[in-house]
Structure 1
Amino acid sequence: MWRKPVVSALPMVVATIYLTVPVDFVFVSTSILRAIYLLSAATLLLAILLAFRSLGSCSSWIVLFLICLAVLPLASAGREGGIGGMYICLPVIVGILIAQNFTPRLAVLLLSLAAIVLLTESLTGVHWYSAMFGEFRFPSYASTGNFRARGVIGQPVPAAFLSVAISGACIYYFSKRREWIWVVVCACAWMVSLVSTGTRSALMVSFIFVGLILLAFRSAVYRHILAVTLGITLFAWFLVTVSLNLRWAAASRLFEYGSLAESESGRVRSNGFAVVRSLPDACGFSCEIFGHGGRSLEQALIDNPAQYGLSTVDNQFVSVYWDFGAIGVVSILALFCVASFTLTRGGHPLEEFGAAILVITIISGIFFDAIYTRPLGVTLGVGIGLMVMHRNSAPMGAAKSSRRAFH
């Protein structure tokens, strides 16, 4: 669907900006914002035109559905929620547009660059990358606790989950192809992101997905090889951090679980649905179905003094329920089921790669608003695009032989 170089150039530029400019967490200059808005609007128009020109394509219907999902709350809530909805859905659309040009080795390159930024920030104790673009939006987060690297995204939690999603999918892909050197590279980048950001929820998701990877192998031999490879890599990484006495290894909060349940973030996540239910709602049943509009929960929490100035409930499903209603929640759950089924039944290697990205990204939504940040939205879109694009591709030739090696 999205094959011409001229057509694919604009989405690639926008995706690069979304992935490298931490606009979600940093006050960037007005000129940069205007450029981003202009390029985003042009990409949206391009996506609409391409979708209507290729209505037989499944990718086209998904793009049109995302646009409808963004603007539907306008009819139910009577607000300008379509702008916020498009703000959330557009990165996903951009990810779908660039999926054909996104390969696992390109993912390793992006993963390595992100890990290098996290590593240098941890070693220097300075958030140098985000500081290049402007002032941090949430100074209260910066003044409490141990130093946590923010990386290219500008905030520790999404930086960790972006690395976990990409590294997990790459480990799944390369381990099935028995390219163990790439598995080691991805495992090292995975550990860098976890330790340098100190994100405990990302560690939990990592263990869940590693378990799913091991279960996905039908061959016990390859399961053992993967387990031993990951184990040796992680143990070697632990020895390096201890022997060099790196400041970020000792300062990390990654393994501090004693006060997690009593922490503010833990309470917010566990009581997210109750918090949303306590908010005033003048919309009624229509908002239960279509939602209140993109990012309306953020404003509702800020405007309600009973919530102590919270701007998020750190739960993607609760946020989507408020912003996009039951349709949004059902859409995410359906996407998760399709991706999980793809991993269990097997298929084209790139289809499985995209499904792995989707599974990890959606699971991470239990712990924070994953797709509400541009880089994770692009990642989700890439997963959708890869899975849909290769869904009916028979694993013939090289793909067929690699599939035999998989199992």
Structure 2
Amino acid sequence: MNLDKKEIRLLIAVILAMLVYFLIAAPVMMDDGFHYEGFAEALAGGKLDFKSFYGFQGLSFFAVPIYWLTGSHNSIIIASMIFSLLSIPLAYAVGRDYFQSRRAGMYFLILFLLAPYPYTTMMRGFQEAALLFFILLIIYGSISEKKWTPLAWSIGGIVKPFALVLAPLFLKESIKTFTSKSKIWVFAALAFGGLYLGANYYQTGHFVNNAAINSYQGNFDPSNTPALAESFVPSIKGFLRVGANLLLHFRKIMISPLVIILGAFALLLDKSLKVRKEIIWAVVLNFVLVGSLTFSFSKYLLPMTTLFALVSIGYLLKHRWLMILVFVDSFFVFLPIWNYFGHNYWINLWLYLIPFWAALILFIIYEYGYLFQNNHRYPDA
């Protein structure tokens, strides 16, 4: 399904709006961001140093050429900005191809804009914007049956391991079409992940140099790296926390709770959904993984919330008035994140809400502007 000129103009307009949004922000590197940036700068200088910097360093590899070109100590943030901008046409493509509808593509792009956490927290060096790009790429590759999907999955997994829960989306198809050509991508994925884990283990004695939550106190001590297992203490409280991190605005959640509810109902009731069983398995894996952690944040549920958002579009297409409720609900998703870390990256609330305004304008133009101009909607809508 090819883009028409009007859709191309809309996508370019959204990309430019978000580019301006990023350029007027005032990033402040914090917490984990120093480790991601430190790893990137060490690697740019020719040193692979897992021992001094904790965490998953997938984004840092992409930040290296940016550091070479700019010398910026915010190279991690710049890399995240690039991934976030690339996610705009990708989000449209995922929604369009999943439902075979241009209108669905625009709706999914709107939901992408209404999920502020990734592109807000990247201003402090966090990796969720890049993670979201790879989540979208894995979903796109899976529904389009692309042979390179396992490699995208492997790379996404070293950006943040939560991307790994998306394996059910493509695993069955990869096994069914395991030809000489597809083997190359599978082996590349395994080799890439194996090299990363192997190098980490060689330097630190752990497959992941992990700053396990609640496993240490005070500053990170590279000579006393906590075991990854210390991050896992399954409990009822952990699984209840998953529910809270999906539905309670003050928990700095990923997306409108209404979208989550609509997505859950769609998975339960609409058996015609493409790769429905595989999506359910991915959601369950994300739930079990995050519920088993000693402590968890809403951002760990990004694969699940992205899938819920995607399948919720069926209801939004049928009942346009639901989008109005989603916008109202989304406003209360933005507000708690505005001053989340005691620092505002935009000078006022109205500028911070630029993605919200962009989503609203996109909805009005697409749903009503086209009606006024052409007196009809797209035939596939």
Do the structures match in fold with TM over 0.5?
no
TM-score computed with the length of structure 2 as normaliser: 0.37
> Whose RCO is larger (CA < 8 A, sep 6+)?
1
